[in-house]
Amino acid sequence: AIERTLSIIKPDAVAKNVIGQIYARFEAAGLKVVAAKLAYLSEREAGEFYAVHKERPFFKDLVSFMTSGPVMIQALEGEGAILKNRDLMGATDPKKAAPGTIRADFAESIDANAVHGSDAAETAAVEIAFFFPGMNVYSR
């Protein structure tokens, strides 16, 4: 089925100037950018976005990293977009990410891991609405 997923190019990858290289991978895999913005998240926004991780030991470091520089946020659309994007990203920990994945090629650590992608249809809908409320998604 045609799905949408929320993708974030994190501060480490934006700082490395590889937004275009990551977009090229989305496009080559048949994922279309249907909404996008470069943003500098506040602590409040990052904390709200990652609220599901609030009780995890890494929450504070996660919020501090995600607010350390600008991020590129996009909604991607395509056949099986959620799983497709997760395959492109590779494992959360870049040391465990398969060769040729975004995290294997561009990430340094589990915190600075280059990209975020929604993990399921329900979270994708919530995450897209969080960053692109209203009608700011353009499918064609």
Which residues are at the interface with ligand CMP (CB under 6 A)? 53, 58, 62, 92, 110-111, 113, 116
Cβ–Cβ under 8 Å, residues 75 and 125: no
Residue 10 vs 77, nearer CB to ligand CMP: 10
Task: Give the active site residue among 4, 25, 84, 116.
Answer: 116
Residue 84, marked binder: no
Q: What torsion do the CA atoms of 103, 105, 107, 110 make, to the nearest 10 degrees?
A: 40
Residue 103, marked binder: yes
Which residue is it, tokens 């950018």? Answer: 33
Catalytic annotation present for 116: yes
Residue nearest ligand CMP, Cβ-based: 116
Q: Rounded to whole angstroms, what are the CA distances from 38 to 7, 41, 84, 85, 106?
A: 12, 10, 23, 19, 19
Residue 16, marked binder: no
Q: Which residues are annotated as a binding site for ATP?
A: 10, 58, 86, 92, 103, 113
